[in-house]
Amino acid sequence: MLNVSNLNKSYQIGKTKYEALKGVSLDVEKGEFVAVMGPSGSGKTTLLNCISCYIPSDSGEIQLGGTDLAKLPEAAIAKVRNEKLGFVFQDFLLLDGLTVRDNIMLPRIIGGQVSASMEQTADRLCEVFGIAHIKNKYPADISGGEKQRTAVARALINSPELILADEPTGNLDSKSSRAVINSFLQAKQELCATIFMVTHDSFAASFCDRVVILQDGAVRRMLSRGEVSRRAFQDELLNVISEMSEVSGQ
Ligand SMILES: Nc1ncnc2c1ncn2[C@@H]1O[C@H](COP(=O)(O)OP(=O)(O)OP(=O)(O)O)[C@@H](O)[C@H]1O
Ligand SMILES: [Mg+2]
């Protein structure tokens, strides 16, 4: 579904070249919920931004459903972003002047695909995520968790092939974080959504099917949850992360 292969990305600062991604390869299957963890500066956001084509990679392939995104022209990339990808950002990025329902419909409005079915889809997503009762409210008048659920619903309005999320629980308390994770799990179970989430939070990551751990721009570990309990998986993640920071002296 998503196949990243030997991806390299460097940033040039003056005469110095900094390699942020060094030969990253990973696959995400349809319907899988995958987290990316790793120390600050390990390349997580860079990886997400390359996959979403916000920044160009230097070399390597990013295949989404068989199309190599890295080779598409800019106009085609914009279309892929609007039709095949859904985004959830740390600070929600809801528009203050639009209601919850209109915010959810925004990607369709931007894509010029306004229709009655779009309104039905928006209403269904409001039901799925428990925000039907606030759909006519404005972002200023709802809680952080409700904003984030609105953002998840918006990411799903186009039935994207892949949802990309960067620290979606980063600014939230534990109750709201749980609400966001629940909305991803619901999207996975009820809508067969595929989710790729960058997170620092081992609690959030422990709900995922798989966790990719980056270090210094490379994939260091790939952990599958398998049949173990969420709690046991979280302990495993914490162990791996603390071992890594001991080795690197962080
Ligand atoms: N626009 C940029 N120009 C130059 N260097 C950059 C740029 N963006 C990121 N970097 C560098 O690339 C490396 C990876 O950054 P990235 O933002 O991908 O890390 P991250 O894993 O998301 O970190 P965090 O957990 O702090 O968000 C860092 O060393 C960072 O300083
Ligand atoms: Mg980051």
Show the domains of the chain with their CATH numbers. Answer: 2-90+163-248 (3.40.50.300)
Ligand nearest to the CA of 18: 1
Angle at which helices 174-191 and 116-128 cross, to 10°:
130
Indicate if ligand 1 lies below 6 Å from the C-beta of 41.
yes
CA of 25 to the centre of ligand 2 (A): 18
pLDDT for position 114:
76
Asked if the model's pLDDT at residue 92 lies above 60, the reply is yes
At residue 248, the pLDDT reads 65
Q: Does any ligand 1 atom lie closer than 6 A to the CB of residue 11?
A: yes
Express each pLDDT in 149-205 by its tens digit. Answer: 899 899 988 888 899 999 988 877 787 788 889 889 988 998 888 999 999 999 999
106 pLDDT exceeds 70?
A: yes
Q: SS in 3 state form for 90-125?
A: CCCCCCCCCCHHHHHHHHHHHCCCCCHHHHHHHHHH
Shortest-distance Cα residue to atom 28 of ligand 1:
41
Strands 162-166 and 85-88: parallel
Ligand number nearest to the C-alpha of 216: 1
Question: Does the structure show a pLDDT above 90 at 44?
Answer: yes
From the CB of 234, is ligand 1 less than 6 Å away?
Answer: no
Query: Across residues 56-84, what is the average pLDDT?
Result: 89
pLDDT higher than threshold 70 for residue 250:
no
Q: Does the CB atom of residue 170 touch ligand 1 within 6 A?
A: no
**Which residues, in sequence order, are CB contacts of 232 under 8 Å at separation 6+?**
none
- Is the beta carbon of 12 within 6 A of some atom in ligand 1? no
- Which residues are in the CB-under-5-Å shell of ion ligand 2? 44-45
Average pLDDT taken over every residue of the chain: 90
pLDDT 10s digits, 202-240: 999 999 999 999 999 999 999 999 999 999 999 999 999
Tell me the pTM.
Answer: 0.89
User: Does ligand 1 come within 6 angstroms of the Cβ of 40?
Assistant: yes
Task: Give yes or no for residue 42 having a pLDDT over 80.
Answer: yes
